[in-house]
Amino acid sequence: MTELRKRGGGDPDAENISDKDTDGEDRFGLGGEGDRDSKPDTDTPEVQPSVDNTPKCLNKALAGMSSRWKNWWIRGILTLTMISGFFLIIYMGPLPLMLMVLAIQIKCFQEIITIGYRVYHSYELPWFRTLSWYFLLCVNYFFYGETVAENFGNLVQRDEPLQFLVRYHRFISFALYLSGFCMFVLSLVKKHYRLQFYMFAWTHVTLLIVVSQSHLVIQNLFEGLIWFIVPISTVICNDITAYICGFFFGRTPLIKLSPKKTWEGFIGGFFSTVMFGFIFAYLLAQYNYFVCPVEYSESNSFLIDCEPSDLFVLQDYTLPSVLQTVLRWKTVKIYPFQIHSIALSTFASLIGPFGGFFASGFKRAFKIKDFADTIPGHGGIMDRFDCQYLVATFVHVYLTSFIRGPNPSKVLQQLLVLQPEQQLSIFNTLKSHLTETGMIRLQSGAVRL
């Protein structure tokens, strides 16, 4: 143990960590009180600082500006570029969106695992990176296999190998994971037991935070693109407006984990995000392309067409008496989904930022500024999606708790996969139930509605 501490590999859970230049949001060199009061943690391994990869053309164009305004323009230009790319992928359809989610998930996983590897690379832990990527493959096989079984019934029904894989999917997934588990046990080295279990836990927590939550993003997408686009857009809106309000009006620090966060930015981001979500929900709710569930059709393509549910039909709502006096309106006609958008926007602006605070605490623990240097002015992909994953989980829970009921098309897809005898048994049971409830009448061997 003494040898490990000499090499810089102390307990990564140590708390006395200097705040100086460690927060991904503190890009302007302003520190909080914690910078003066905290003591450096000599037991926490150092990680190499990130590299500035800002394009030379931008650096040249912004050369005469102060670092504060230079960062402002770099972040703004890259933000607009990413938003444009996001809406282009939305235009391309559900499949490119799923591939985008998968690519982001893999990159976020790589950034977090790379931090672990850089921290403990001097120990030459056997198979660490190999096993980490193997577990990522196993977990993705499990989650995407569940998605195929649930949402691609037409494809499964026509393909016998797929039927076999779907039928024994969970057993195959468990066998794959068990192989990785055994490989980890066989890789244990006497001198490094503790560190190897640290990294085993590191990998699994990363899988929990990144992979499982990205799977929920895919599940939200199948409920309708609007459940995918609105939450993501509200987080983006909150990031932008909170940054702008804090940049121009910020005076009061919000939390020591992120010294650049201010109450002015937090409050300004909240009101602007709720307003944006309400208006954006109104615009999207008018189009079937956004409100209809995503289904995989028999023509081997995604079908987005339906009769919109009551959530996406304009309804009259009576205003409270106070608002009636101010606005001189008794009723307003809005989509019910707009009311739900207020809940989504509120969570994205009040609770969502805690995902960013969690990431800031993680980065401070390992004395790094950003997860990576993938996006100039922003850091790594994980720096941009730390809040998105938390909000995606909330949307999934919200859907299952308050919105989603049984989906007839999914039930039918599951029935079609069953054996003929099982299908006939379900048919007879359903016919008996409908007869008893008076929904259908039997007359001379025929069924009448």
Q: Which of 28-42, 216-230, 328-342 shows the lowest per-residue confidence on average (mean pLDDT)? A: 28-42
Percent of the chain at pLDDT exceeding 70: 82
Closest CA to 141 of 114, 115, 180: 180
Q: What is the pLDDT of residue 407?
A: 66
Mean pLDDT of 82-90: 91
CA distance 254 to 353: 11
Residue 277 pLDDT > 60: yes
Residue 363 pLDDT > 60: yes
CA distance 84 to 172: 40
Residue 332 pLDDT > 70: yes
Q: What is the pLDDT of residue 70?
A: 77
Residue 4 pLDDT > 80: no
Per-position b or e across 174-205, b if 16+ CB within 10 A of its CB: eebbeebeeebeebeeeebeebbebbbebbee
Q: What is the pLDDT of residue 435?
A: 87
Mean pLDDT over the full length of the chain = 83
Composition of the chain by helix, strand, coil, percent to 5: 65, 5, 25
- The amino acid occupying position 318 is T
- Give backbone dihedrals phi and psi of 438, rounded to 5 degrees, phi first: 80, 10
CA distances 333 to 4, 312, 315, 338, Å, are 67, 12, 5, 11
Residue 271 pLDDT > 90: yes
- Give backbone dihedrals phi and psi of 259, rounded to 5 degrees, phi first: -60, -25
Residue 203 pLDDT > 90: yes
238-256 pLDDT, tens per residue? 999 998 999 899 999 998 8
* Token representation of residue 443: 């007359």
- The amino acid occupying position 283 is L
Residue 177 pLDDT > 80: yes
Residue 163 pLDDT > 90: no
Helix, coil or strand: residue 334: strand
Q: What is the pLDDT of residue 352?
A: 94
Closest CA to 386 of 367, 350, 364, 362: 362
CA distance 385 to 105: 9
Q: What is the pLDDT of residue 436?
A: 87
Q: What is the pLDDT of residue 168?
A: 93
Angle at 374 between CA 368 and CA 379, to 5 degrees: 40
Q: Is residue 257 very low, low, confident or very high in pLDDT (cuts 50, 70, 90)?
A: confident
Say which residues have a Cβ less than 8 Å from residue 13's Cβ, sequence separation at least 6.
none
Residue 24 pLDDT > 50: no
* Token representation of residue 425: 């048994």
44/179: higher pLDDT: 179
Residue 127 pLDDT > 90: no
Please tell me which of 63-72, 78-87, 339-348, 364-373 the model is most confident about, judged by mean pLDDT. Answer: 339-348
438/205: higher pLDDT: 205
CA distance 169 to 178: 14
298-323 pLDDT, tens per residue? 777 888 988 899 999 999 999 888 88
Please tell me which of 8-22, 150-164, 247-261, 348-362 the model is most confident about, judged by mean pLDDT. Answer: 348-362
Q: What is the pLDDT of residue 394?
A: 96
CA distance 58 to 71: 11
Q: Is residue 16 very low, low, confident or very high in pLDDT (cuts 50, 70, 90)?
A: very low
